[in-house]
Amino acid sequence: MVMDVFAFMDSWRTPEEQIILDGWAEAISGLRSRPAHPHDRPSAEDVARVINTVRARGWLEFGLGLETGEQIVFEAIKVLHQRLEPVSAPLPEIWMAAQLMRAAGVADVESYLNSATPPVLGMDDLISPPEAGAVVRTGWIPNPGGLSIVIPLRTKDGSIEVWLSPEQDEAEEVSCPDPSQRVRRFYLNLRDGNATAVGRLDPKAFARMQSKGLLAQASAMVGQARALLTTTRDYLCLREQFGVPVGSFQALKHRCADMATSLHAANLVTAHAAAAVVGTDPADHIGDLAKSFAGSVAVRIASEAVQLHGGMGYTWENPIHFGLKRTMYLAATGRSVRDCEVRLGKWSREGDVSWGIL
């Protein structure tokens, strides 16, 4: 019964890209986190174990796209999320931290990735960089300990300073819906000598980095939605009521068809955005386009996936809720889906809308 009915979504990849992504899927296949209890959160050791495994298999630097180009990194983030039981280490946030450092002119970013305390970047801080100051209160950062924090700061002249701070004691737990990560807000003391300014970006380069962050989230949401919908489709084939599989009822079929259709469209939007965001002079709205469209689709699919599992969807035992909660986390961090829509609408009202097709 298990079959990948969404394989057609990958057919635009080149054979070379598919080989790389198959290797990536293989490298992370055994890395699963399944909190046994609702109050469990991954520890610093859990996260370090995952990072060390990924590093040992040669994939940690992959997120910089040095050999493969950056475009495929966003596909890899999809692949990373094509599962219900998530990987507990915040790999997209680590990769985006490394990309931000490199964009800010930091040399040898690989050495930071390979250090004992790799960098992590909170998506909230990327989208709304705090003002420079003595103590900076960060947004949500998935860091249970052991990761150093990359933080962009808005300066008076409009440029962005990038700081690197060791994890600091002063932090508050946040109500993160996703139990596969431990997310906190930190109070970073930038004057204590441990934190250092490592680089600087002009507003244009920073805008591109923000687009990449939003696209990373959109790609994660597409991967997650694909996992949720695949599982739901399989469940509808197996679960019988009134003597037939419930998937034979048209009311459920049509909802599945609508979800699959919107997922296909969201996959194309993120693929298009990935090509645009790594290209020369990407438009500022690319990240908003990706997250607004894929985000709406993914939240809807996650919500429907639980509903279509009936009572089983309401249990801890069935892993569908892990995918739901990861989707909630992705929607809750960075820029909200509606805010992306507002910015996109403002752009399309003010700018010269191009479609760039045929």
Partner 1 sequence: MRFELTPEHEKFRDELRKWLEEHVDRDWPRRYGHDDGAMARYQQEWDRKLYAAGYAGLSWPREYGGRAADVVQQAIFAAECARAHAPEGLARTGIRLVGPALMRYGTKEQQRHLQPILRGEEIWCQGFSEPEAGSDLAGLKTRAVRRGDRWVINGRKIWTSHGQFADWMILLARTGSPESRAAGISVFLLDMRTPGIEISPIRTLKGSMHFNEITFSDVEIGPESLLGEQDKGWEIVTSVLRDERGPGSLLVRSSDIQRIFGNIASHARQVGSGPAHDQALGALYGRAFASSLVTIELLRQEHAGTAPPGLASMSRLFVTTTWRTLVDDALLHWGGGLFDRYGATHIDDHLESWRYTLGGGTSEIQRNIVAAALLQLPSSRRGRG
% helix, strand, coil for the chain, step of 5:
55, 10, 35
How far apart, in whole angstroms, are the C-alpha atoms of residue 342 and residue 348?
10
User: Segment contacting partner 1 (CB under 8 A): 27-35, 122-130, 170-178, 269-277?
Assistant: 269-277
Ramachandran sector of residue 105 (left: φ over 0; alpha: ψ -120 to 50; beta: rest): left
Q: Which of 88, 181, 219, 292 binds partner 1 (CB under 8 A)?
A: 292
| Residues 193, 156 contacting (CB under 8 angstroms) | no
Is 2 one of the binding residues for partner 1 (CB under 8 A)? Answer: no
Is 254 one of the binding residues for partner 1 (CB under 8 A)? Answer: yes
Ramachandran sector of residue 118 (left: φ over 0; alpha: ψ -120 to 50; beta: rest): beta
Helix (H) or strand (E) holding 323: helix 320-332
Q: Which of 162, 260, 298, 302 binds partner 1 (CB under 8 A)?
A: 260
Which burial class, exposed, middle or buried, applies to 42 when counting CB atoms under 10 A from its CB (0-12, 13-18, 19+)? buried
CB of 8 or CB of 314, closer to partner 1? 8
Interface characters, 293-332, with partner 1 (x: CB under 8 A): x--x------------------------------------
How far apart, in whole angstroms, are the C-alpha atoms of residue 163 and residue 198?
6
Tell me the three state secondary structure of residue 200: strand
User: Segment contacting partner 1 (CB under 8 A): 70-78, 82-90, 120-128, 252-260?
Assistant: 252-260
Is 349 one of the binding residues for partner 1 (CB under 8 A)? Answer: yes
Q: Which of 108, 265, 314, 315 binds partner 1 (CB under 8 A)?
A: 265
Q: Name the site residues for partner 1 (rule: CB under 8 A).
A: 3, 5, 8, 11-12, 14, 233, 236-237, 244-245, 247-250, 253-254, 256-258, 260-262, 264-266, 268-269, 271-272, 275, 288-289, 292-293, 296, 338, 340-350, 353, 355, 357-358
